[in-house]
Structure 1
Amino acid sequence: MTTLKRLCAALLVSVAATTASAQDAAIGTWQTEVDDGAFGYVAMTQCGAAVCGTIQQTYNADGTPLASENIGRQIVINMAPAGDGTYAGQVYRPSNGKTYNGKMQVEGNALRLQGCVAGGLLCASQNWARVQ
């Protein structure tokens, strides 16, 4: 293999790794904020070109396990990455059964999730912490 071919191959591997890590910033397990007396662990996974999040475990605010009908429910829906740590899609709020236009931003082990109405004029947000 010539030096030029090796350099090109190394460059392609480097670009692919950088692109994958930028797109996968949200992948992992995240702890939600307490909402209506409970919090959960949400597994964020690839769903096509987007990211989706499903409730894996739920807990009372004091940390004791909570059996919930929402375990297994997808609450982060088709969050499409913009490539800069921000995402746009939908979020479902189990406590009121409503789906909202959603925004998400990931910075390291912190994730800020927003659900918005009125064209994004009114938003509620939560800050989540990475568990895994």
Structure 2
Amino acid sequence: MTRIFTLAAGLLLSATFAHADPIEGNWRTTSGATAAIASCGGAFCIVLKSGKHAGKKIGTFSTSGENAYAGEITDPTNDKTYSGKASLSGNNLKLGGCVLGGLICRNENWSRL
């Protein structure tokens, strides 16, 4: 019986990981802090896990194509929110936030931990 339970638990656990989106996980930000990206209500939420602003939610993104995401990103230093885009390439995540319809943008490159 224990063996069946262990096998069933292993299958359930592997099925859970099989459905994870590539953007989900822990990321090293440009400032050196750790940000966690996880599924939340049909989107992906970004929460800082370390650094000066640990615990602060700084973004919400939805899938907009293969390895492409769109949503909002918040600068944790001033709490201003911008329209944002992200693209994933292997273990690198390029994030950008823009104002004035995309005329002024700032980009950052994060790496997967």
TM-score category (smaller protein) = 0.7 to 0.9
Runs of 4+ in 1 over 2 A off after TM superposition: none
Residues of 2 paired with 1:57 and 1:73: CA distance?
Answer: 10
Q: Aligned residue for 2:30?
A: 33
Q: Once the 2 structures are TM-superposed, how far is the Cα of residue 50 of structure 1 from its aligned partner?
A: 1.2
2:55 corresponds to which of 72, 84, 95: 72
1:83 deviation in Å? 3.2
Deviations 1:62-121 (A, max 9, x none): xxxxxx3x21111122x0102311101000111222111110111110000101001112
Q: Which has the larger Rg? A: 1
- What 5-or-longer segments of structure 1 have no aligned partner? 1-16, 59-67
Q: How many residues align?
A: 96
**2:50 match: secondary structure:** strand
Q: Tell me, what secondary structure is at the counterpart of 2:78?
A: coil
Structure 2 unaligned regions, length at least 5: 1-17
What letter corresponds to residue 73 of structure 1 in structure 2?
K
Q: For residue 105 of structure 2, give the secondary structure of its aligned residue in structure 1.
A: strand
**Residue aligned with 1:57, SS:** coil
Amino acid at match of 2:48: I
